[in-house]
Each structure stands twice: as C-alpha cells, then as structure tokens.
C-alpha cells in the first residue's frame, strides 16, 4: 500500500502566489476603471468627512455630544414573566432637572444635551401654551407621549404577528380571530406597496412598516417639552454635575411668552394664594416690564401713572406689608399670611393712590 504525502508548505506557497496575483489584478482593474473618472487627481467622494474646527465649530460641537441611547433596553427583570419573555419596553424620555434660584427665579430647569434630541417647533409650542393652556405642568403632555409610545409598541407587535401568519399555511388569516390582524395591518402594507414594490417576488412592506413604527416609537424617547419656555430659548452650556462636567441645555429667567402674552391667571392665583415668595420675586425682578403678576380679580384697579406703578410695585416687592405681618407674629397674634395679604392688598394700593 502506497501513501501519498502532501507537502503543505509547497501548497501554501503556491496558493499564496495565486492569491497575491488575484489581489494585484483586482487592484489594477479598479485603478483602470477609476482612471476613466479622473483618478488619481479626482479621489472621489470620501467615506467619512469631519468638519475642521476652525471651519465650522458648531459642527465640531455637535459631533462631540453623546447620543441619547434607548435601544436595546436595559434588562431589569422584576418578575418571572419578564425573566422568561424579556422586560417590557418603556418610554425613556429626557428628564428635566428643575431648580429654584434667588437670582434666576423659580421655574428654571436644564436637560442633558444629546445629538438626537427632538424639540417641538416654536410655533407648535406657542400654540400648546397659549391656546391649550399648558403653561408649566406637562404631565398631560407626558401622558399623551407615553400613550403614543405604548400604542406604537402594541401596533409593532400586531405587525409582527401578522407577518408570522405567512409561515402558517394551514391558518386562514381571513377568518376569526386572525382577521383582526389583517384589518389592522394590511391597509398600511397596501399603501406602502405603491412606494416599495416586491423585490424578486418577496414582499418587503412588512419589514418597512415595522421599521417605520420602530423609528417613530424611538423618536418619542428623544422628544423634549420645554414649557413654559419656547425651545429656542435654551442656552447650551456646561454644568458641573456630581463632580463631572456635562453639556446641558439651560432654560432660566423669565419665559419669553410670559413677557409677550398674559401669564395664565391660574398660575398667578397660585402665586398669590400659596407661593407669595414667587409673586414678590416677580414683582421685584421684573416690575419695569409692566407685566401683570397679580390675579385678574385685581384687574379693575387701573393705574396710568408710571411713577405710581413703579412705586407701588417696589413697595409690594419689598414686602412692606409683610413687615406688618412679622410685627403681628412677634406679638403672638395668630394670623394666616395668605388671608392677611388678601385683606390688606387693596388697602396698600389705596394708600399709594391717595
């Protein structure tokens, strides 16, 4: 019996030579083809292009920002169901960090700055605040945002279930109960088929529809509500947070809409009845802007003299009437601060008008 001995070193050498020759042939072919389009003088379109910092510092700044990542979701199983089937997708919107300041006011907040933040247009934000009376409390908007997210996730699951029906030829999708899936999904697929026809006989509209639903749901995570400010009022800056410098978008001082339009009366009533410190701050800081910070029930008092208005607002802002309250408290006279201000506010106005 004869054994054939294969010289592997010779085989590797010959194969390597063939491989190198093939690479050279492909390289030369590409260069010849590129030469028809002006290569090497015309290098072609770059795969990636970075803006020079001196040419466009804004682009360099945006490139340095992190992404607001929400996918894949963090796995935190809290029960047996989530451990077996995965955690339920939840809305992970950008958090607003609210703070109060003796200089900036009481309605300041900041959000961490990301590349993929989505803001409402100023016109839409203005309409929501003025026409729909959503001034500061955004719980209703966040509830709508969460509801839309849940609906999109649910609809995405329905699309996946409808797509899986194609693999079960024994199931008639047009009979109960699977006909509900057909009614919920097929109308959208029929619409998309006009834009994305089948490729080699394969219908791709289900994948495209699922991708669109996923993109819409993911973008809801990056949507930011800036009430009572307009989105364009944000200031991009740096803050030291927990010993680490981070890029933030800061909203502070007096909102623009409160200067251009009347402040909602519900908010002014809240200041007058429950947060006198906010009312006094507003009068003291912005008395020269001729903004009405007191409730509408004092609207019948009309003052045309600028000097009187300034003196009145300064006196109220300096809390001269509160000094009387402090005196009564020091004498152990039990009195409620809100009732005291409401009772003596008109007297204070009449005092300066007399």
Look at residue 207 and tell me if it is in a domain: no
What percent of the chain has a predicted confidence (pLDDT) above 70? 68
Look at residue 193 and tell me if it is in a domain: no
* Angle between the N-to-C axes of helices 337-353 and 320-330, in degrees from 0 to 180, rounded to the nearest 10: 130
pLDDT score recorded for residue 59: 62
Look at residue 61 and tell me if it is in a domain: no
Cβ 228 vs Cβ 258: under 8 Å: yes
Distance of alpha carbon 29 from alpha carbon 261, whole angstroms? 69
Place of tokens 């390289």: 27
pLDDT at 303 over 50: no
φ and ψ at residue 343, rounded to 5 degrees: -70, -40
Look at residue 166 and tell me if it is in a domain: no
Mean pLDDT of the chain: 75
* Angle between the N-to-C axes of helices 276-286 and 306-317, in degrees from 0 to 180, rounded to the nearest 10: 140
Give the structural domain span for 19.
1-43
The number of domains in the chain is 2
pLDDT at 116 over 50: yes
Cβ 161 vs Cβ 181: under 8 Å: yes
Q: Which of 208, 221, 223, 212 is nearest to 73 (CA)?
A: 221
Q: What is the mean pLDDT of residues 218-222?
A: 87
Cβ 267 vs Cβ 254: under 8 Å: no
Distance of alpha carbon 109 from alpha carbon 279, whole angstroms? 19
pLDDT tens digits for 175-205? 888 788 888 888 888 888 878 777 777 778 8
Look at residue 337 and tell me if it is in a domain: yes
- Name residue 236's beta-bridge partners: 249
Distance of alpha carbon 166 from alpha carbon 229, whole angstroms? 50
Cα-trace Rg, the chain = 34
Place of tokens 């290098």: 43
Query: Which residue has better confidence, 188 or 319?
Result: 188
Q: Which residues contact 273 (CB under 8 A, 6 or more apart)?
A: 338, 342
Q: What tokens were used for 252?
A: 């502070």
**Alpha helix positions (H), the chain:** 8-35, 57-64, 80-85, 122-130, 139-164, 179-193, 205-221, 256-260, 265-273, 276-286, 306-317, 320-330, 337-353
Query: Which residue has better confidence, 340 or 186?
Result: 186
pLDDT at 6 over 50: no
Look at residue 63 and tell me if it is in a domain: no
pLDDT score recorded for residue 294: 78
Q: How confident is the model at residue 353 (pLDDT cuts 50, 70, 90)?
A: very low
Look at residue 20 and tell me if it is in a domain: yes
Give ∠ CA 23-29-32 in degrees, rounded to 5: 140
Look at residue 185 and tell me if it is in a domain: no
- Name residue 238's beta-bridge partners: 247
pLDDT score recorded for residue 317: 47
pLDDT at 80 over 50: yes
Distance of alpha carbon 250 from alpha carbon 239, whole angstroms? 9
Q: What is the mean pLDDT of residues 31-46?
A: 74
CA 159, distance to chain mean position in Å, is 27
Q: How confident is the model at residue 148 (pLDDT cuts 50, 70, 90)?
A: very high
φ and ψ at residue 97, rounded to 5 degrees: -105, 105
Q: What tokens were used for 86?
A: 């995965």
Q: Of the ranges 12-26, 149-163, 299-313, which one carries the lowest mean pLDDT score?
A: 299-313
Helix (H, G, I), strand (E, B) or coil at 16: helix
Q: Exposed (0-12), middle (13-18) or buried (19+): which is 294, by Cβ within 10 Å? A: buried
Q: Exposed (0-12), middle (13-18) or buried (19+): which is 37, by Cβ within 10 Å? A: exposed
Distance of alpha carbon 255 from alpha carbon 251, whole angstroms? 8
């Amino acid at each position: 019996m004869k054994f054939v001995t294969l010289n592997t070193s010779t085989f590797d050498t010959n194969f390597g030579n063939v491989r190198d020759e093939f690479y050279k042939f492909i390289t030369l072919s590409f260069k010849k083809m590129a030469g028809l389009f002006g290569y090497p003088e015309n290098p072609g379109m770059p795969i990636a292009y970075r803006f020079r910092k001196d040419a466009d510092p804004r682009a360099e700044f945006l490139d340095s920002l992190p992404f607001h990542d929400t996918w894949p979701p963090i796995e935190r199983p809290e029960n047996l169901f989530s451990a077996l089937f995965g955690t339920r997708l939840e809305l992970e919107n950008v958090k607003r960090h609210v703070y109060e300041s003796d200089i900036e006011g009481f309605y300041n907040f900041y959000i961490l700055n990301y590349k993929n933040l989505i803001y409402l247009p100023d016109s839409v934000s203005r309409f929501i605040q003025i026409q729909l009376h959503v001034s500061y409390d955004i719980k209703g908007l966040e509830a709508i945002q969460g509801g839309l997210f849940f609906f999109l996730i649910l609809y995405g699951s329905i699309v996946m279930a409808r797509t899986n029906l194609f693999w079960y030829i024994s199931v008639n999708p047009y009979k109960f109960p699977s006909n509900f899936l057909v009614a919920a999904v097929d109308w959208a697929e029929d619409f998309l088929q006009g834009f994305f026809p089948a490729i080699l006989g394969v219908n791709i509209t289900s994948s495209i529809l699922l991708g669109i639903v996923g993109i819409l749901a993911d973008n809801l995570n990056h949507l930011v509500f800036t009430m009572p400010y307009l989105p364009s009022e944000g200031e991009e800056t740096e803050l030291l947070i927990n010993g680490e410098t981070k890029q933030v978008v800061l909203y502070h001082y007096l909102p623009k809409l409160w200067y251009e339009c009347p402040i909602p009366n519900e908010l002014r009533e809240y200041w007058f009845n429950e947060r006198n410190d906010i009312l006094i701050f507003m009068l003291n800081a912005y008395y020269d802007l001729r903004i009405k910070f007191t409730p509408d029930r004092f609207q019948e008092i009309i003052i045309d003299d600028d000097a009187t208005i300034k003196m009145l607002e300064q006196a109220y802002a300096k809390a001269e009437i509160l000094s009387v309250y402090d005196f009564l408290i020091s004498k152990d006279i039990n009195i409620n601060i809100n009732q005291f201000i409401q009772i003596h506010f008109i007297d204070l106005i009449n005092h300066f008008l007399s």
